[in-house]
Structure 1
């Protein structure tokens, strides 16, 4: 089943920002744990080593076979509402932000990637849709492995993101 893309590109002060929103039927504390605790992250995206209190951890995506361990700088951490990090791989850095708000039994997660290069949006957007859907599946007790990136996300969502960029 091809999924419907939900992300959008906003331009703020000349900077492109990828924004994707997900609603989870879970208390905000549970969603916070799912995005900040290594054991919980492992269910949907990856694991980290190191002490987050130091402001730097080593992160490895476990979904992508052979992915290297990269630095993840913690720029802002306001539990259980906001996490802002910079993922560093070689000379490249991606700023990533998660904002959580609890409303009426749901936790709304807003994922933002400020500074995204418009030329990469058609592949990066579907990738984040996939990972965030894996998060929703894991928190709902479903198997994130049932999601098919190659069939439902990329290239199926690429045109949506090209149009957004």
Structure 2
């Protein structure tokens, strides 16, 4: 039985290489190798966010989100860095711009901390981006616990967390 995480603002806007990034963290009682599989294996990804097709060795894959309905078109993810099981970086086209996404895994004393980030482009709405990543990462938590990811309800994240994320940007 898994616990459904309580939706909350856990992400922060940090300056990385002089650019703003939305950074979120989750900790798992597991090895980095196992968490890596949940973040990169297409079948395991499909449990909580979507799946990919293609050959990553070619430097790109076609990724289709499945948690947002049946008619979501696939996106091309260009793989910039893949250092198994520690760091992954990719870019994708989103709404006329490019999203630069990354994650890092750090294992310590049987626990692995996932640090997930997205570089924020000028004028992007962190008030919708932040709740979205909270939702998906909480689905990952539930999937890893063997729970029902559909019990994680989008309406509990957005617009509920929107103002909390907008305050961060206004304060920064």
Q: TM-score range by the shorter chain?
A: over 0.9
- What SS does the corresponding residue of 2:137 show, helix, strand or coil? helix
State the match for 1:130 in structure 2.
135
Q: Does 1:57 align with 2:66?
A: no
State the match for 1:92 in structure 2.
97
Q: Does 1:140 align with 2:140?
A: no
State the match for 1:103 in structure 2.
108
Deviating above 6 A after TM superposition, structure 1's stretches of 4 or more consecutive aligned residues are none
Contact 2:7 2:134 in 1 (8 A): no
Under a length normalisation based on structure 2, what TM-score does the superposition of the two structures give? 0.89
- What SS does the corresponding residue of 1:68 show, helix, strand or coil? coil
Shift of 1:12: 3.9
Unaligned stretches of 5+ in structure 2? none
**Larger deviation: 101-110 or 120-129?**
101-110
Aligned equivalents of 2:55, 2:141: Cα separation in 1: 26
- What SS does the corresponding residue of 1:111 show, helix, strand or coil? strand
State the match for 2:42 in structure 1.
38
Aligned equivalents of 1:131, 1:51: Cα separation in 2: 24
State the match for 2:25 in structure 1.
21
State the match for 1:83 in structure 2.
88
Unaligned stretches of 5+ in structure 1? none
Shift of 1:140: 1.2
- What SS does the corresponding residue of 1:134 show, helix, strand or coil? helix
Aligned equivalents of 1:48, 1:133: Cα separation in 2: 20
State the match for 2:119 in structure 1.
114
Deviations 1:109-144 (A, max 9, x none): 000101344541000000000001111111111111
Contact 1:16 1:118 in 2 (8 A): no
The Cα RMSD (Å) is 1.6
Aligned equivalents of 1:70, 1:12: Cα separation in 2: 26
Shift of 1:61: 0.1
Residues paired across the two proteins, number? 164
Aligned equivalents of 2:123, 2:95: Cα separation in 1: 21
Q: Does 1:73 align with 2:70?
A: no
**Larger deviation: 110-119 or 38-47?**
110-119
Contact 1:16 1:117 in 2 (8 A): no
